[in-house]
Structure 1
Amino acid sequence: MTAAPETASASRYDPAELRANLMQADAGVLVCVLAQLTGDAGVVDRFGPLIEHVADPPERIGVTDEQTRSALADAIIAALDAPATDAAEKVTDREFFALLLSTGLGSEVDDEQVDLLLEQGGFRPSAPTLPRTVAIPDTTTMAIIGAGIAGIAVALAAAEEGVSFEIFDRNHEVGGTWLTTTYPGIGVDTPSAYYSLSREVNPNWTNYYPQGAEYQDYLVALADKHQLREHIRFGTEVEALWWDEERGQWQIHTVGADGTRSVSHAGVVVTAAGYLNRPRWPDVKGRDTFAGVSVHSAQWDSSLDLTGKKVAVIGAGCTAVQIVDACVDEVEHLTVFQRQPHWVAPRKRPSDDVPEHRRYLGKHLPYYANWHRLKSYWATADNNYPVILQDPQWAAEHLSISPANDVLLQLCREYIDRTFGAGSELAKKVTPDFAPYGKRIIRDPGGYYAALTRDHVDVEASEPAEINARGIVTADGRQIDLDVIIYATGYHLDFLSTVDIRGRDGRKLSEEWGDSPRAYRGGTVPGFPNLFITSAPNYSPGHGAGANFSMEVLAHYIIECLQLMALRGATTMEVTREAYENYVAGIDEAMSRTVWCHTPNAHTYYRSSSGRVVVSTPFRLVDLWQQHRAPIEEDFTLR
């Protein structure tokens, strides 16, 4: 069980052990730690020129000679042993912090990023934007639908402002998808050092990329630490949300695990249930006739033993990659049905295990885990933005859409050639015919491509033609006998389509959206007052960072909206039709320049059935952050 996240403490450490670990650490990070411990930015001038930043994907690591490392270690130990000073006050000082960034992150940082980085490093909580001259009324009630990372982020923000809230979750425990999805090898390709809440930096990760059970433990620890369980209705599924004009509140229609239905009310509703919840089974003739075991990755049977079995995996996305990597050594024979290849990036390190010195220093050295969180964010955030932008002149002559995009394409092609042999049949099978990021890029967990070369593994570059009692019939008519079929075929793109949501005058959200969900800032929609959608259309970062970023940004924005209502003496706020349409038009205009609009042959859940890109945001992360610092009052009707 992962311990509840906490700030590193310099107390109770062995000086020799600390020094040994400091000698192995990122020198750039240590300079920043030293500056914050002492309140002296001059250490940047002293040590910075002696440090070189070299690639250690996805970050740049600071390295230097042994003499400099030794001097840094001595200075940090002396700072820890020194009498208390007012240095802590400088940790959140903007000018002081800005002086450290290039040394800590390994690259220059534009001024527009500084305030965002202060938050994302966990050095400063999300700062209030609107005046707090009037308190949010204690009569304000909030219903949060979902107890995953989004629901937890919103709940913590509400608790901090004294807003009464209740969380509804159909499961028996917090965690959302991390609780319910347990297939072999489950993880995420966002670095673990970053994939957390900035207010709860976790120094205890054992893997560079969060594994399912470990991340679930992190979320459970958050719920325990902040006593969220007393605010949660477990085993309670929300079936409908209806706006009650007379009460000026939302009716929340729920059904319990025992089938009992009830209705409760709240002035504000925040949906935090995500948009990928219902497993999608492929429409293949005879699917129900298979005599063996059929399992969807989203509904994994923990008792399923694949040892010595003939197994097929249908799919080639992130989930399929992780399952193949995890089970290839157990099965007698494995057939991968690759419906469409993805670009797969190689793992950059021999192992994904977090080095012991990083875990030790994260626990014992103040600010160290924060800087590694910040480095992980910076390496996968707006620095990566050019990869998704089209250069029309370049794209006219290349498969990639820009020089930046081509760097990734060449990296992936080199990985294919190195693993399968340039021009081989297998290389051809796994090579996509669209630019990287046309579909979500996949990071090889370490053994996926290697697994495809094994003698007992076959790759079928097509969907199954038919399924029968014995197994699968291939597109060219061959029979493959199987014991187990694993469907790694994704989810229905729901965007709340499973909940009956009715706003003013009984208008349904499904009618407002049709087959192309849209939303203004904060996931707001005209006609649906006080409704905020965390997994909103066009709100998911597509080029970097992770869902934790967008959820924290939105949690801040929701509280600022409640504050605006308090300042104006209003009980409801509703985005105007004009603001909504203008904002969506801006999204579409920006989206037209991205990879998702220039790779129509890439099959991706990012698009609705109409072809409009509805999942990812076309904006930089700093733009998204700025857009959600505070509501624009003239864009809302306040009543």
Structure 2
Amino acid sequence: MTNDASVLDRFAPKISHEPDPPEKRGVTDSDTMEAIVAALVSAVEAQAAPVPVDEVLFSRLLPLALGSDVDDEFVPLLLEQGGFQLSQPALPRDVPIPSTTTVAIIGAGIAGIVNALAAEDAGVTYEIYDRNHEVGGTWLTTTYPGIGVDTPSVYYSLSREVNPDWSNYYPQGAEYQAYLVSLADRYGLREHTRFGTEVEALWWDEDRRQWQIHSVTREGHREVSHARVVITAAGYLNRPRWPDLPGRESFAGVSVHSARWVSALDLTGKRVAIIGAGCTAVQIVDACVDQVDHLTVFQRQPHWVAPRKRLSDDVPDFRRFLGRHLPYYANWHRLKSYWGTADNNYPVILRDPEWAAEHLSISPANDVLLQMCTEYIDRMFGEGTELAKKVTPDFAPYGKRIIRDPGGYYAALTRDHVDVEASEPAAVNAEGIVTQDGRQIDLDVIIYATGYHLDFLSTVDIRGRDGRTLRAEWGDSPRAYRGGTVPGFPNLFITSAPNYSPGHGAGANFSMEVLAHYIVECLQLMAMRGATTMEVTQQAYDDYVAQIDDAMSRTVWCHTPNAHTYYRSGSGRVVVSTPWRLVDVWHQHRAPIEEHFVLDGRQGESGGGSAAG
């Protein structure tokens, strides 16, 4: 607040670090506490406006605030991820991005919002296309009971728009959707958005040097518009996956997929089955166990489940008060959350061959998590019990996405009116479900928490140069160079790109912001070179993918073949998560490497712009 380093010199020796959660003071003697409070109050009263963050002082503060040494390579990342400063330009800004560089953003969820704000900052004309009636994407359309994310809410947000007043430590559906709506309100995003418009095809028009955007409105009207650049901001998990169960359509009760929840559905007093044991199923069971008459959980494969560390996920009033009233408090809270869940967690996914040869876990770091989860199983179900055996995985933690217990999932499985079937159903009939051993379970409601198809834009007809399709380029193994770029598809940036999801920590918002920064730097490079198209070379693309695969070969996902996970495509290649530290991904995307691209300055017939046609 003051950039006064003497405050650090005065108080740092008296502050200790304790893990969070649960919340613990780093100051225990009352005199120091009173002195810090007095200094804070004085600084608040004296501060007329926020002062610029001094990077040297910030570097000195980091070890004290985060509780560990912080290498220099992390400092600029942490300044940005803590929301202390906006993403900093890497290339010179002496040449403006021309008005003919029009951008179409496909999707108005969090990724679309991030890219829209980056385009706005750069003075780039943009338009968002979204099939829904409002911003939010998944958070708008997915409304099952208990919906949330395992990423801490204080971090799962935009670094430029740190929310100081979350009510829950983990993002809950309605509250997070309200956050995204507030961003649309604040920045006027709806004025740039075509709602109720689904993009069916993207075709490169070589004559115009632009993308044709083929869309259909909710009313069935088909349109073709154009943009110089396309940013796809649609996720790769959109279409609900229904299991191939004999007789599924014959059930006389209510069938519902978690991704298409019916708001009027009342589970009170019902006999309910839920198929699935992933994050969604866990949240639904936790939310509805007290409502139902009887619940049967069908798990094809158990997940490792981490215990909740707090008694409650409700953010205490003092934190909310400080977030609202104490400058920078929410920023440091966000940064502590990032630091504790990001690259400090990276060793958990790396395989130690000697260790893995004799253990179910893949490394000592991975084993710490395994032991914590195993202890939780034993504590909740009793060591060696039948139920404990049912919920214990036979692969290392992180082999598939680890789950955080919302607080009542394991406890729910021990209830008298809850049964766990350690297999998929054999069949469905009018009355309910037939188990693998031939038992009939009569039901009123079947909930399919069976996930999504792994799409990676496969539902959109994307054609690049010479009519080449992205579907043919990728086949069963989607891949991309930095910024989600692919040879033969100029000016196309894929934000939910293969191998861009942080698999070991932080949240998807990290990669969204990193790519939004990178895309603007690419547009700036085009402006500097007078180019209208930018296309990654085949060599750079192949080399980058090879580097990904080499790094991936040492991770848990390549050494837990018995874990059923959407991280792997049908080819067996790991296509979702990144194998690198997040700080490495961040530095890779500060600016484009010019020699990795073909930059072409020819103008199209229309000279650019976006227009309905």
Partner of residue 296 from structure 2, selected from 331, 335, 344 = 335
Secondary structure of residue in 2 paired with 1:104? helix
Partner of residue 263 from structure 1, selected from 209, 214, 224 = 224
Tell me the distance in 1 between the aligned counterparts of 2:482 and 2:378: 44
Paired letter, 1:184: P
Q: TM-score, normalised by structure 1?
A: 0.93
Deviation at 1:67, TM superposition (A): 2.1
Check the 8 A contact 2:22/2:310 in 1, yes or no: no
What are the within-5 Å matches in structure 2 for residues 35-54 of structure 1? 37-54=1-18
- Counterpart check, 1:532 vs 2:496: no
- Counterpart check, 1:57 vs 2:21: yes
Paired letter, 2:253: G
Tell me the distance in 2 between the aligned counterparts of 1:201 and 1:56: 19
Partner of residue 379 from structure 1, selected from 318, 340, 345 = 340
Tell me the distance in 2 between the aligned counterparts of 1:235 and 1:58: 44
Check the 8 A contact 1:58/1:379 in 2, yes or no: no
Tell me the distance in 1 between the aligned counterparts of 2:136 and 2:553: 35
Paired letter, 2:188: Q
Check the 8 A contact 1:606/1:613 in 2, yes or no: yes
Partner of 1:312: 273
Paired letter, 1:46: R
Deviation at 1:140, TM superposition (A): 1.1
Partner of 1:71: 35
Deviation at 1:54, TM superposition (A): 1.5
What are the within-5 Å matches in structure 2 for residues 139-538 of structure 1? 139-538=100-499
Check the 8 A contact 2:490/2:535 in 1, yes or no: yes
Check the 8 A contact 1:314/1:486 in 2, yes or no: yes
Paired letter, 1:54: E
Deviation at 1:128, TM superposition (A): 0.2
Check the 8 A contact 2:567/2:577 in 1, yes or no: yes
Deviation at 1:61, TM superposition (A): 6.1
Change beyond 3 A, Cα 1:603–1:571: same
Paired letter, 1:350: L
Paired letter, 1:80: V
Deviation at 1:537, TM superposition (A): 0.3
Tell me the distance in 1 between the aligned counterparts of 2:16 and 2:518: 39
Paired letter, 1:422: E
- Counterpart check, 1:562 vs 2:523: yes
Check the 8 A contact 2:202/2:461 in 1, yes or no: yes
- Counterpart check, 1:573 vs 2:573: no
Partner of 1:16: none
Residues 376-402 of structure 1 show CA distances to partners (whole Å, capped at 9, x for unaligned) of: 111100000000000000000000000
Secondary structure of residue in 1 paired with 2:446? strand
Deviation at 1:559, TM superposition (A): 0.2
Change beyond 3 A, Cα 1:576–1:554: same
Residues 594-637 of structure 1 show CA distances to partners (whole Å, capped at 9, x for unaligned) of: 00000000000000001000000001000000011000000000
Change beyond 3 A, Cα 1:428–1:83: closer
Secondary structure of residue in 1 paired with 2:19? strand
Deviation at 1:82, TM superposition (A): 2.6
Secondary structure of residue in 2 paired with 1:414? helix
Partner of residue 88 from structure 1, selected from 23, 26, 51 = 51
Partner of 1:20: none
Change beyond 3 A, Cα 1:59–1:437: farther
Partner of 1:624: 585
Tell me the distance in 2 between the aligned counterparts of 1:380 and 1:185: 22
Paired letter, 1:223: A
Secondary structure of residue in 1 paired with 2:387? helix
Change beyond 3 A, Cα 1:58–1:397: farther
Check the 8 A contact 1:60/1:106 in 2, yes or no: no
Partner of 1:131: 92
Partner of 1:31: none
Tell me the distance in 2 between the aligned counterparts of 1:462 and 1:595: 24
Deviation at 1:83, TM superposition (A): 6.2
Deviation at 1:62, TM superposition (A): 2.8
Tell me the distance in 2 between the aligned counterparts of 1:492 and 1:61: 45
Check the 8 A contact 2:484/2:493 in 1, yes or no: yes
Tell me the distance in 2 between the aligned counterparts of 1:167 and 1:325: 36
What are the within-5 Å matches in structure 2 for residues 547-626 of structure 1? 547-626=508-587
Partner of residue 546 from structure 1, selected from 504, 507, 525 = 507
Secondary structure of residue in 2 paired with 1:294? strand
Check the 8 A contact 1:183/1:297 in 2, yes or no: yes
Tell me the distance in 1 between the aligned counterparts of 2:29 and 2:389: 45
Secondary structure of residue in 2 paired with 1:255? strand
Tell me the distance in 2 between the aligned counterparts of 1:207 and 1:564: 42
Tell me the distance in 2 between the aligned counterparts of 1:359 and 1:123: 19
Residues 317-374 of structure 1 show CA distances to partners (whole Å, capped at 9, x for unaligned) of: 0000000000000000000001100000000000000011111111111111110011
Paired letter, 2:413: L
Tell me the distance in 1 between the aligned counterparts of 2:9 and 2:523: 45
Paired letter, 1:291: A
* Long gaps (5+) in structure 1: 1-36
Partner of 1:633: 594
Change beyond 3 A, Cα 1:607–1:551: same
Deviation at 1:138, TM superposition (A): 1.4
Change beyond 3 A, Cα 1:362–1:424: same
Check the 8 A contact 1:390/1:593 in 2, yes or no: yes
Deviation at 1:56, TM superposition (A): 2.2
Paired letter, 2:232: T
Check the 8 A contact 1:341/1:429 in 2, yes or no: yes
Tell me the distance in 2 between the aligned counterparts of 1:329 and 1:244: 57
Deviation at 1:106, TM superposition (A): 1.4
* Long gaps (5+) in structure 2: 601-613
Paired letter, 2:165: N
Tell me the distance in 2 between the aligned counterparts of 1:218 and 1:88: 26
Check the 8 A contact 2:132/2:195 in 1, yes or no: yes
Deviation at 1:58, TM superposition (A): 8.3
Tell me the distance in 2 between the aligned counterparts of 1:84 and 1:449: 51
Residues 127-159 of structure 1 show CA distances to partners (whole Å, capped at 9, x for unaligned) of: 000011111001210000000000000000000
Change beyond 3 A, Cα 1:558–1:83: closer
CA RMSD of aligned residues (A): 1.1
Aligned length: 600
Residues 216-256 of structure 1 show CA distances to partners (whole Å, capped at 9, x for unaligned) of: 00000000000000000000000000000000000000000
Tell me the distance in 2 between the aligned counterparts of 1:58 and 1:556: 34
Check the 8 A contact 1:192/1:208 in 2, yes or no: yes
Partner of 1:9: none
Paired letter, 1:56: D
Partner of 1:4: none
Secondary structure of residue in 2 paired with 1:152? helix
Partner of residue 61 from structure 2, selected from 82, 100, 106 = 100
Check the 8 A contact 1:464/1:474 in 2, yes or no: yes
Change beyond 3 A, Cα 1:293–1:353: same
Deviation at 1:124, TM superposition (A): 0.7
Secondary structure of residue in 2 paired with 1:125? coil
Paired letter, 1:69: M
